[in-house]
Structure 1
Amino acid sequence: METTSSFLKSVSKRVWAAPQRPFRVCSWNRETKKWVTAGTLEELKERAAQALLMSTLLTLVCEEDGTELDSDEFFMALPDNTVFMGLKPGESWKPHPLNQRDGHKPRDNKPRAGKDIAQVTFDLYKKSPKDVFGSLNVKATYQGLYSVSADFQCLGPKKFLREALKLLSTLLNTAGYLLISTAKVIRRVIQGADFLEAQQSKAVANTEYWH
């Protein structure tokens, strides 16, 4: 009976499990970046700690602005591929060096004549040292309310070679089809010319016969 109850609990947990979503996590100095999937905030914290090799419970903040991720409602409202920063006790969020000017002054503190409408960020990274080219993550934010992100992942050497061979095979098949079609057209033209020449010769022979 106990085994049946455990089995039903396991099945129920699988059926009602939250869908897995992709996210990226990085260390406080942004030197380590990893991909993780999670369906809840607790799963994200646990897998982020494993990916970043942190033994202690960590605090997750948005890598872009340092906002702490402290509720499942906030977690569910964030889009896929959001980048989080994992912080251990004693560590704190700092803005990206590219977003700073004049020492440690954030770029946003510089007086501006107008109001920001949209912001686009580009993040080039590698999921594996074996990747031939880096992957690119593009994130666009409109008026700080709506955000859209796209992730362009590149391939490793084996996958890159396989895709290149597939493309070459497709090009060769297309070229072969064009050559066969061209040969058929040329053969029909030659056959038509031979037929016309034979008809003309026959007409000339008939004319000479009657004369």
Structure 2
Amino acid sequence: FPTLKKSSDVIFTSIPGSMTQKILSGRTSRPKPFRVTNVDRSVKKGIMADVLVDLINKVSDSMSLEGASALVLDEDGTSVDTEDFFQTLPENAVLMVLEKGQKWTPHNSPSRDRPSDCKQKPRTDVAKLTFDLYKNNPKDFIGCLNVKATLYGAYTVSYDLRCYAAKSVLKEVLRWTIFSMQATGHILLGSSCYIEQLLEEEERVEKSLALPQESRIRQLQSKLLGKISY
């Protein structure tokens, strides 16, 4: 008789002389938003992906790269090279894409163009605000706004404002605008018809008053002509 060994994800069925393996797709991964920057951090884009391969392909297409050799964490340069580690990343994690020959550099690393003996004067930042506008989907109308505030270089507060409903709100505003314009047009059309009827009624009254006077004038003319003929 066949024996079954069942787990949450894989079912193994063993039969004398054969073995089959069936992978169950019970858990479906949900796409997560990521922010990907280039090596010099001059370009940052928001991309939705559910697996590592999908993210690499979308990054290559979005940034017009011939081939992305590696993805690392922008914070500390940790390489994102396995699917298991990729699935543990939180939403809106900042990644850096590297091409062949490029290496990760920390945020406060000195520029290559400056001489090594040139030292910067130490300074103390009181407050620093960073605004990051990105889109999780290219079809998004406005996108998302991430505001990050740093006080004295030690305390950091961030807020992520997602404007997913802005497009639907704009549609409702346009729909009500069109409805109000149509209603205004119907009111103006009805008012013009009513005014036209009033004017026609006044003209009819004036004509009805003018007819008796014309008939009297004709009667007087006929009487005068009759007397002259005699």
TM-score, normalised via structure 1 length: 0.46
Higher helix proportion (structure 1 or 2): 1
The structure whose Rg is larger is 2
TM-score, with structure 2 as normaliser: 0.43
